Structure 1
Amino acid sequence: MSLFNVYPLFDITPVKAKDVYVYDENNVEYLDLYGGHAVISIGHSHPRYVSAISNQVSKLGFYSNAIQNPLQVALADKLETLSSCKDYQLFLCNSGAEANENALKLASFHNGKSKVLAFKNSFHGRTSAAVAATDNPKIVAPINAQQDVNFVELGDLISVENILKANQTCAVIIECIQGVGGLDESTTEFYQGLETLCKQYKTVLIADEVQSGFGRTGDFFAFQKHNITPDIISIAKGMGNGFPIGGILIHPSIKPSFGLLGTTFGGNHLACAASLSVLEVIEEEKLLENAIDISAYFIEKAKELPRLKGIKGRGLMLGLDFDFPVSELRKQLIHKHHMFTGSAKNPNLLRILPPLTIQKKHIDAFFVALKKELNS
């Protein structure tokens, strides 16, 4: 049987990894500046993480959500403490797309409305309502396109209000820093205005923190810079350091009932053990502080680059915006210098999403390689 060929692949086969490095079958070492789409938060094969999963699977890997699972409670408590999202409720699932599906479904249950408002250049997942709210027609199938979604320019509060006052929109879903779209971010005034409009028109405000959450921006969540309180927060990628887990944090104003949401694998024992270890390492190794420190160092180094139009993002969710398409540059970085980087919808943007454990020496190595390629 052949694989369903939907991924363009680099000719590299990783077989092991440690912290910020990945090793192929020939034991070639690659510096991971992309973290597998921002998934690797505490570094590859962190000893605390490996121990947590190993110990848990030796006892109980899975049972259904029909029984008590104290690990879910422990995860919710730890998440509340580190995120400062007090009194939210946690529903666990398996991925970012699933988190956003549940967020949109819950919003519609909550207020009885059916339309969605999203923003241009957004990316929220590849399933049903999540992909309909993603601004990329190429990945929206006709069955998804039945969802009624309005797309608005990021920062345009007038258009938002014109749509919300029709009283048909169940949710506004937004990435406070756009990921795949190219690391664009609006102003605090805009995000606070958006929250005000959602309250005024009884619309659920969903903060998509799938990529930006769990400390990647230097804040635990990207929205926290703007001092807003979303009704629902979706999380996934860095949450499990590679183990599949996602979830939504739900404001106490939204009430649960039996059967409202459900999942077979979401919140299983292994996933909870993985995510708990991630939170413990983030706290003990002060990785939010490291994200801020390394980000400042990266930005200063980047200012020396030729052909750079701008630096986007914050924390360790960064983009280098050049005056040329970066696809060939990425190939040179991976094949000649053995460094993983990322792309975006903006063809000129080189995305940098490393493990939060990255150090200044790794940034130095990256800029040596990058300058060499740019000067050649």
Structure 2
Amino acid sequence: MPLFDVYPLYNVTPVSGKGIHVYDDKGTEYLDLYGGHAVISIGHAHPNYVKAITEQVNALGFYSNAIQNPLQKQLADKIEALSGCKDYELFLCNSGAEANENALKLASFKTGKKRVVAFSKGFHGRTSAAVAATDNKNIIAPINAQQAVTILPLDDIDGVKAELEKGDVCAVIVEFIQGIGGLDQGTAEFFEEVDKLCKANNTMFVADEIQCGYARSGKFFAFQHYNVTPDIISLAKGMGNGFPIGGILIHPSIESKYGMLGTTFGGNHLACAAGLAVLNTIEEENLIDNTNAMSEYFISVAKTIPQIKKIKGRGLMLGLEFDFEVGDLRKQLIYDEHMFTGGAANKKLLRILPPLNIKKVHIDQFFEALKRVLK
């Protein structure tokens, strides 16, 4: 049976990984500066991660949410401790799209309204409401287009004010650093005014932290670079270092009721074990400090390369913009230099999303390769 052909694939077959490297079926070593869309947060096959998953699967891999699972509470407490998001409540699911779907559903439950405001170049997932809030008509089917969504330019505070004052908006959803869109960011004034407008208009402010969260921006969450208090925070990707897990943090002003959200696999024992291993490693290895130090070093080296026209992003969610499309450059980096990098909707942008424990030696290796390719 053939696979449904929806992914353009590079001719590389990874079979193992260790730290910041992966190895293909021919034994070739690749430097992974992309982490499978920012999923690999603590490195491939990290000993803490392997140990936690192995011990858990040997004990109990899965049972449904019909029973007590103390690992969920441990994970919630650890997120609270490391993020500083006090008094929020955690709902666990399986992916970023599912996290945003539940965030928007919860916002609609809370407000009794149904329209969503999102922003140009934003990406929030591929499920029904999440994809409708995504600024990409090519992936929105007619069934998704039934959703009531208004997409505004980033930093258009007058537009946000006008839409919220119509009284039918349940949620404003925003990435504080856009991922697939190309690492654009709004201003502090914009984000902080949106937060105020949401609170004044009975609208939930949803922080999509699926890619920019979990220490990647240099703080635990990217919204923490600003003076805002989201009502709902969605998370996934780096949360499980490759194990499927997602979730939303829910402000205590939103009351839970039995049955309003649900999932079969969300918050299962293996997922929680993986999630705890990631958080423990972030804490033990001071990976937020490392993210900031390596970001500063990366940017300082990037500034010395004249072909790089702009450096975008924060922390270890970075983009290098050129005056040409980077598709061929990425192929050369993969096939000639054995390095994984990412692209974006901005075809001139090279995305860098490495594991958070990257070192200077890896950054030097990348830039030496980049200079060779650019010549």
Structure 2 length-normalised TM: 1.00
- The amino acid that maps onto 1:128 is S
Query: Hey, what's the Cα distance between the residues in 2 that align with 1:111 and 1:153?
Result: 24
CA deviations 1:222-253 (Å, max 9, x no partner) are 00000211000000000000000000000000
Residue 169 of structure 1: aligned partner: 169
After the TM superposition, which residues 343-358 of structure 1 pair with which residues of structure 2 at under 5 Å, given as runs?
343-358=343-358
- The amino acid that maps onto 1:58 is N
Residue 83 of structure 2: aligned partner: 83
After the TM superposition, which residues 52-201 of structure 1 pair with which residues of structure 2 at under 5 Å, given as runs?
52-201=52-201
Residue 51 of structure 2: aligned partner: 51
Query: Hey, what's the Cα distance between the residues in 2 that align with 1:303 and 1:372?
Result: 16
Query: Hey, what's the Cα distance between the residues in 2 that align with 1:189 and 1:150?
Result: 21
C-alpha displacement of 1:304: 1.2
Query: Hey, what's the Cα distance between the residues in 1 that align with 2:112 and 2:186?
Result: 29
Query: Hey, what's the Cα distance between the residues in 1 that align with 2:41 and 2:64?
Result: 27
Which blocks of at least 5 consecutive residues in structure 1 are unaligned? Answer: none
C-alpha displacement of 1:16: 0.3
CA deviations 1:48-106 (Å, max 9, x no partner) are 00000000000000001010000000000000000000000000000000000000000
SS of equivalent to 1:56: helix
Task: Tell whether 2:292 aligns with 1:292.
Answer: yes
Residue 213 of structure 2: aligned partner: 213
C-alpha displacement of 1:337: 0.1
C-alpha displacement of 1:137: 0.1
- The amino acid that maps onto 1:81 is A
- Tell me if structure 2 keeps the 8 A contact 1:123–1:131: yes
SS of equivalent to 1:346: coil
Query: Hey, what's the Cα distance between the residues in 1 that align with 2:74 and 2:48?
Result: 17
CA deviations 1:300-349 (Å, max 9, x no partner) are 00011122221000100000011100000000000000000000000000
SS of equivalent to 1:304: coil
- Tell me if structure 2 keeps the 8 A contact 1:306–1:374: no
- The amino acid that maps onto 2:83 is S
Task: Tell whether 2:10 aligns with 1:5.
Answer: no
SS of equivalent to 1:103: helix
Query: Hey, what's the Cα distance between the residues in 2 that align with 1:308 and 1:269?
Result: 45
- The amino acid that maps onto 2:262 is G
Task: Tell whether 2:51 aligns with 1:35.
Answer: no
Query: Hey, what's the Cα distance between the residues in 1 that align with 2:308 and 2:323?
Result: 6
C-alpha displacement of 1:202: 0.7
Query: Hey, what's the Cα distance between the residues in 1 that align with 2:80 and 2:274?
Result: 17
Residue 322 of structure 2: aligned partner: 322
Please provide the CA RMSD for this pair: 0.5
Query: Hey, what's the Cα distance between the residues in 2 that align with 1:205 and 1:92?
Result: 19
Runs of 4+ aligned structure 1 residues displaced above 4 Å come to: none
- The amino acid that maps onto 1:274 is A
Residue 202 of structure 1: aligned partner: 202
Task: Tell whether 2:250 aligns with 1:250.
Answer: yes
C-alpha displacement of 1:186: 1.3
- Tell me if structure 2 keeps the 8 A contact 1:298–1:363: yes
SS of equivalent to 2:91: strand
SS of equivalent to 1:91: strand
SS of equivalent to 2:30: strand
Which blocks of at least 5 consecutive residues in structure 2 are unaligned? Answer: none
- The amino acid that maps onto 1:336 is D
SS of equivalent to 1:58: helix
Taking every aligned residue pair, what percent have the same amino acid on both sides? 66
Query: Hey, what's the Cα distance between the residues in 1 that align with 2:118 and 2:226?
Result: 19
Query: Hey, what's the Cα distance between the residues in 2 that align with 1:320 and 1:163?
Result: 34
Residue 366 of structure 1: aligned partner: 366
Query: Hey, what's the Cα distance between the residues in 2 that align with 1:225 and 1:303?
Result: 23
Residue 259 of structure 1: aligned partner: 259
CA deviations 1:165-222 (Å, max 9, x no partner) are 0000000000000000000001111111000000011100000000011100110000
Between Structure 1 and Structure 2, how many residues are aligned?
A: 375
Query: Hey, what's the Cα distance between the residues in 1 that align with 2:306 and 2:374?
Result: 7
Structure 1 length-normalised TM: 0.99
SS of equivalent to 1:172: strand
Query: Hey, what's the Cα distance between the residues in 2 that align with 1:348 and 1:307?
Result: 12
- Tell me if structure 2 keeps the 8 A contact 1:171–1:206: yes
Query: Hey, what's the Cα distance between the residues in 2 that align with 1:226 and 1:236?
Result: 21
SS of equivalent to 2:59: coil
Query: Hey, what's the Cα distance between the residues in 2 that align with 1:217 and 1:108?
Result: 29
Query: Hey, what's the Cα distance between the residues in 2 that align with 1:53 and 1:307?
Result: 44
- The amino acid that maps onto 2:298 is F
Residue 340 of structure 2: aligned partner: 340
